[in-house]
Structure 1
Amino acid sequence: MKFKLFPKRFTLLKAFVIVFISISFLVRLSFVVRDFGEVDTGIYNLFKTIIIGFLFDIATVSFFTIPYLIYLLLVPIKWYGSILDRVITFIGFFLGVLIIYFSFFGEFTFWDEFQRRYNFIAVDYLIYTYEVVQNINESYPLPILIGSLLVLVAATIFLVFKYGYFQQTFHNEVGFKQKLIASLPWFTVALVCGVSVSNDQAEWSKNRYNNELSKAGIYSFFAAFRNNELAYSEFYNTISQETAFKKVKNEFVDKGEIILNPSQNEIFRLIKNRDSAQVPKKPNVIFICIESLSGKYLNSLGGDYNITPTLDSLADKSLFFTNLFATGTRTVRGMEAITLSIPPTPGRSIVKRKDNSGLFTIGEVFKQKGYERNFFYGGDGYFDNMNTYFGGNGFNIVDRGRGFLLDKNITTSRTNIEDDEVTFENAWGVCDEDIYAKVIKEADKAYLTEKPFFNFVMTTSNHKPYTYPEGKVDIPSGTGRNGAIKYTDYAIGEFLKTAQTKAWFKNTVFVIMSDHCASSAGRWELDVRNYHIPALIYNLPTVQPQKIDKLSSQIDMFPTLFAALGWDYETNLFGLNILKMEPQDERAFIGNYRKLGYLKDNKVIVLGDGKISHFYQWNSEDNSLSPLSMDKSLLETTIANYQVADYLYQNNGLKLDNLKK
């Protein structure tokens, strides 16, 4: 019997494979064209990209074939072409083609936002269907997209039917043995790929775009679904736990900080910032966490967009940090860095993980000083687990809730942003002016209690679909990021104007910092420039405005504020006082969910899963990375910080109850 990969009974399967491979190739080619200037288009590297991509496409489609192959094997010859066979075949083929086109349509929107194949962000977004669907609806012509999707599905089925693929599938005498032999290659490919082919095997190039293009979107999605939490000790370079803690502790001891339990694997310590003649200050603190604002958009940080007049004016009236970097690429990663003051751990942010309540956050330092703590968000804080995280760590919640309840174990209060308090709203929440109006209202109430307050305010307007109230700025709503940034800046200006009329203003410090950059995409393993964010402290009593050019991290902002206020406090935070940093102290942590970076002296070490590490010279002028011979001492410092951070989380070393024993 002559072997055939696609005997007649498998004709429709052949059509499906051809459709999948063809569409996947066209999607990959379109991404090459879209970002042609970023892709390594040398003949060899481009050819290798396409070939590896093709192999991942084969791996992906092999998984699609398994359910249909099982059906083909089970159905006997006498049932070929029966009504039941036709119905099941037509429905199955329709659903398969629909999934193909739907996933590829989704890839275009995902690539447009992140310049990546599907990753753990896409997995997370499955949970928050309301925000995601609304965002897509407001960002793209959804009726046209859905209509086009259905037209493509219908056209594909028509062509397959016209060329007789259905007829050949239904009218043949292919027996079980021949079907089994034809099925074995597909079962084998699926088994081998499921067991031994990992998504990171597509990452063969130094150019990140080529690596992403070598992947298959659906394969990447399921890889992310399986690996959205990574155990540091299993996947990354490590040193002995004793050495790691010793190195990290020594960094703190060298700055005069007192380790409270020196024999334990923890960093809980006492920081003394108060001079003998200094009276600690307890002003109200309002922290504005700006959505997706890169440093490059501010004229005061070298930009020429002319869209941030408020922030540029504040730069001359504040402690303005010109060389500060975000730890990650998502809001929850920024929240983690700011509140826990911790280097990023691999996988998803701690904000998104289980058992993340009762931790030592900056809120605990404010609590030590008698502050009320509040978290403001213009959308529903159910999104990205924000309410559970902030509520579980002692913050009262003020959000635009749609009925999702707080976890039953959370005892803090929740205040809703009511309909009559909303002038404009999109998929992500109320406009920035509305959230600031709520902050003003709640601050007025808090002022009457004579208890200082710390407000963490998360903005939403600088996010696709970039819509905001018309007539506020001279860029029409919904036309792009520049308009959203200009509105974001405008709203901050209006907020501060209103705040200045309040009795509590003179005793209120405003901290303003971005959660992450507008985009982390780039051709390098970690695109360093795309972690540079604006940060400032405004209206700080008895401290003269100045520009601070020291290399620093998002995790350092609140330890710096606490020092400026003259606070002595117990802490579990990794962050340092930027104002007292010596040149040898300057560093920044940057990373994504898999790559962990340590930036120092324009050099960066990148730790990757698979226990690999790379060392680069960063050229800040063109943002390029040039390979260097490994600096073993710096590598050990990098590993120590990330290893200790992960150890503390995994072993409850961030828990308040354990620290207070």
Structure 2
Amino acid sequence: MFAQKIRPFLYLGALYLTISLITRIVFLFHPITTASFGIFEILKILLTGVLNDVLVFVITCPFLALYFLFLSNSKYQKPYGQIILSLLILLFLYILLIPNNIFKQYGGSIAEIALTFIGLKIIFFALMFFLPERRLQIRNSLYFVTLFLYVLLIVFNAVSEYFFYNEFGLRYNFIAVDYLIYTNEVIGNIMESYPVIPLFLAIAAVTLTITVLIYRRTKTELSDLPNLKQKTILMGSYLVLCGISLLGLNFTTKIKSNNVFGEEIQANGLPKFYWAFTHNELDYFQFYPEINQQQAEKSFLSQFTPPVLQRNIIPAAPELKKNVVLISIESLSADFLAHYGNTQKITPFLDSLADQSLIFTNLYATGNRTVRGLEALTLCIPPTAGESIIKRENNKNKFTTGSVFKSKGYDVKFLYGGYSYFDNMEDFYKGNGYDIVDRNNFTPEEITFANVWGVADEDMARKAISTMNAEARSGKPFFNHWMTVSNHRPFTYPNGKIDIPGDAKSREGGVKYTDYALRKFFEMAKQQSWYRNTVFVIIADHCASSAGDTELPMDKYRIPAMIFSEGFIRPQKFTQTMSQIDVMPTLFGLLNFKYQSKFLGQDVMTRQFQPKAYVATYEDLGLISDNHLTIISPVRKVKQYALVQQKNNLSPEFNLYFDENPLKEKDQNKTLINATISAYQSTSYWLKNNKLNR
């Protein structure tokens, strides 16, 4: 009886082990595998691999186990059937009709996916409830679909692992995680690189054939479902096996081979994918072009005076102990502002403030995620391969913007309208000496509107004013870094504030409401005693979109930035190319701060400044310099684009850069390629060896 009930698992497991073994053998003899193996090493690799596969298969079966757990006839009996069907219908209506239900709060397609799933569940439950004579037939059909999906995943995963190994000589790593994030770009690349239609047809044919074979041998199990006692024994046994498998993988994944190829071939791709997803790192020295380390550091540090990593910044004038408020605005592309050519009038306050500020008109974000922007403004270093340092384990005790202010006796805080545990912000900022003010610090009376991302920017503005008033009363200067939230999907905010309804879920509305909230913040700030002694830095964390025709579309990285201080900062435009990592070193220069610096950004107001910008995705690392965009990528790929300056007809005072076609290797600027490698290799080396810690 027991063996019969687990027959589907046995067949699927045998399929998984067979395909995994074939894949492993293919890897052993693949041309990219340049290592040679003796007979005993091959046996060790294969046996370790089979053991890994058994343990992984057990861990990946919970959905199938739950599917069999909920198979029963009793739930269709009265009154249970009516109750369950009624609850499903009520849940469907809740998602469909309630405007701000929990699914719609998250934006995107989550509500539509939930509606589809619940709708299908209602249809099939109703059919099996009202047509008991067809119940077994319907159940068999659903079982066939379930088997098909499992077999498809097994076959598709094997094909995916083959192509990944074919390109990188490795199992899944952070690049595979990156592929999930940049789905459009990846699908486009696959469509252009492989015969997709024949390949998918072959996968579908193999999957269908295997599914039919397994279905015919196991469908009789659905005619005699296990009772509650048998299900309890089966689920208990499965949970014990899961525990054993987790412990076993902790051991088998640490078994070493004589070389990297051996370790990769004996490994299973799914645990490696999970590890990459949770560790967020991509080893620069394994995937990217390199030059001599000393040469790389010498080249990169030549922009600084003196040309060393830790250097003394000695200003010519006395220090100014002014308060500093850094406002990083969620998803604010430069082209949302009239100053950059927009005609929608959705940022009237920021445009008016720009006229009174030092505005940087040709500044580029380092990435396209909030944590990357926060990293640039806090650590002032070029982006590195993989996830932002904020989300990594080794993210504490770094040399930061906040540590410079703390050394000057400042009160240092990070302000965020949501829960700062999101994206690991709380762990990062607390671990680097910042105090946190987030949604946890709000009383119910202080919140007039909130969505899934946090309280409305207007509420956070009031909280920021009260926080700064308390800091000012302490007698200490303060540095507060405020990250806004309202200009983020689902773009909801209080009605009646601007001329776009708060429930329209419009990006333009999100931008305009954030602009409105910032106006309110400055109106309140002007009434405070500390206002005249405060410098405000307003900058976007990244653009609203990152999709484009090239790996790093420059127009999707250009962001607005300005420094404003009434009576202190003279209004002017800085038009040279610069990076997000240059903003805070420039501010410290304006304040005449004397400090020991490890920042890798420059004060753009100095004679030593070299116009350039760093732009990156999770794996493509770029340098904009001297009318070129140079990109380095895995595996040791280099691309370079020549850039031309064109006038923006809507705002002719600003130049915009546009990409041309990639340069052929013989036409590439080798000096800029070496500069790009030097910057990213040096930064990666210093991070790896904790050279950028305090």
Q: Alignment partner for residue 285 of structure 2, among 225, 229, 233? A: 233
Which structure has the larger Rg over C-alpha atoms? 2
1:561 aligns with 587
CA contact (8 A) 2:579 2:614 kept: yes
User: Cα distance, 1:573 vs. partner?
Assistant: 0.2
Q: What amino acid is the match of 2:412? A: R
Could you give the per-residue CA deviations for residues 319-345 of structure 1, whole angstroms, max 9, x where no partner exists?
A: 000000000011110011111000001
Match of 2:602, SS state, is coil
Q: Alignment partner for residue 383 of structure 1, among 422, 435, 447? A: 422
Q: Partners in 2 of 1:551 and 1:85 — Cα distance?
A: 56
Q: Alignment partner for residue 119 of structure 2, among 115, 132, 151? A: 151
Q: Partners in 1 of 2:159 and 2:676 — Cα distance?
A: 39
Could you give the per-residue CA deviations for residues 104-143 of structure 1, whole angstroms, max 9, x where no partner exists?
A: xxxxxxxxxxxxxxxxxxxxxxxxxxxxx95753536866
Q: Partners in 1 of 2:535 and 2:280 — Cα distance?
A: 37
1:270 aligns with 312
Relative to the length of structure 1, the TM-score reads 0.68
Match of 2:479, SS state, is strand
1:605 aligns with 630
Q: Partners in 2 of 1:187 and 1:494 — Cα distance?
A: 53
User: Cα distance, 1:624 vs. partner?
Assistant: 3.6
Equivalence map 1:112-261=2 (5 Å): 136-139=104-107, 145-152=113-120, 166=140, 192=162, 196=166, 210-211=188-189, 225=277, 228-252=280-304, 257-258=305-306
CA contact (8 A) 1:559 1:577 kept: yes
User: Cα distance, 1:166 vs. partner?
Assistant: 3.4
Match of 1:328, SS state, is coil
Q: Alignment partner for residue 614 of structure 2, among 581, 589, 606? A: 589
Distance 1:476 1:602, change over 3 A: farther
Q: Alignment partner for residue 355 of structure 2, among 308, 312, 316? A: 316
Q: Partners in 2 of 1:562 and 1:574 — Cα distance?
A: 14
Q: Alignment partner for residue 684 of structure 2, among 641, 646, 649? A: 646
- Structure 1 segments unaligned to the other structure (5+ residues): 1-8, 14-62, 72-83, 92-132, 171-182, 402-415, 657-661
Could you give the per-residue CA deviations for residues 433-483 of structure 1, whole angstroms, max 9, x where no partner exists?
A: 111111110111111122100000011000001011111100011321100
Could you give the per-residue CA deviations for residues 501-547 of structure 1, whole angstroms, max 9, x where no partner exists?
A: 11111001110000000111112111111000000000165442101
1:626 aligns with 661
Match of 1:347, SS state, is coil
CA contact (8 A) 2:495 2:503 kept: no
Match of 1:585, SS state, is coil
1:461 aligns with 486
Q: Partners in 2 of 1:459 and 1:558 — Cα distance?
A: 18
Distance 1:188 1:537, change over 3 A: closer
Q: Partners in 2 of 1:568 and 1:168 — Cα distance?
A: 70
Match of 2:335, SS state, is helix
CA contact (8 A) 2:439 2:454 kept: yes
Match of 1:579, SS state, is coil
Identity %: 38
Distance 1:489 1:521, change over 3 A: same
Match of 2:303, SS state, is helix
Q: Partners in 1 of 2:516 and 2:420 — Cα distance?
A: 24
1:285 aligns with 324
Q: Partners in 1 of 2:67 and 2:570 — Cα distance?
A: 79
1:429 aligns with 454
Relative to the length of structure 2, the TM-score reads 0.65
User: Cα distance, 1:209 vs. partner?
Assistant: 6.4
Equivalenced residue count is 505
1:306 aligns with 345
CA contact (8 A) 1:616 1:625 kept: yes
CA contact (8 A) 1:294 1:518 kept: yes
CA contact (8 A) 2:390 2:425 kept: yes
Equivalence map 1:409-428=2 (5 Å): 416-428=441-453
Could you give the per-residue CA deviations for residues 602-645 of structure 1, whole angstroms, max 9, x where no partner exists?
A: 31001101111100123565844411132111111111111111
Distance 1:471 1:620, change over 3 A: farther
Equivalence map 1:479-518=2 (5 Å): 479=504, 480-518=506-544
Q: Partners in 1 of 2:137 and 2:377 — Cα distance?
A: 60
User: Cα distance, 1:258 vs. partner?
Assistant: 3.1
CA contact (8 A) 1:237 1:639 kept: yes
Q: Partners in 1 of 2:67 and 2:579 — Cα distance?
A: 61
Q: Alignment partner for residue 531 of structure 1, among 547, 557, 572? A: 557
User: Cα distance, 1:556 vs. partner?
Assistant: 0.4
1:334 aligns with 373
Match of 2:563, SS state, is strand
Distance 1:285 1:191, change over 3 A: closer
User: Cα distance, 1:281 vs. partner?
Assistant: 1.0
CA contact (8 A) 1:468 1:484 kept: yes
Q: Partners in 2 of 1:556 and 1:221 — Cα distance?
A: 35
CA contact (8 A) 1:208 1:523 kept: no
Q: Alignment partner for residue 439 of structure 1, among 450, 464, 479? A: 464
Q: What amino acid is the match of 2:517? A: A
Q: What amino acid is the match of 1:399? A: D
Match of 2:605, SS state, is helix
Q: Partners in 2 of 1:483 and 1:185 — Cα distance?
A: 45
2:383 aligned with 1:344, yes or no?
A: yes
Q: Partners in 2 of 1:154 and 1:575 — Cα distance?
A: 58
Q: Alignment partner for residue 475 of structure 1, among 497, 500, 506? A: 500
CA contact (8 A) 1:516 1:533 kept: yes
Q: Partners in 1 of 2:349 and 2:333 — Cα distance?
A: 15
Q: Partners in 2 of 1:315 and 1:376 — Cα distance?
A: 23
User: Cα distance, 1:86 vs. partner?
Assistant: 11
CA contact (8 A) 1:599 1:605 kept: yes
2:454 aligned with 1:398, yes or no?
A: no
1:3 aligns with none
1:46 aligns with none
- Structure 2 segments unaligned to the other structure (5+ residues): 1-7, 13-52, 73-100, 129-133, 145-152, 201-268, 647-656
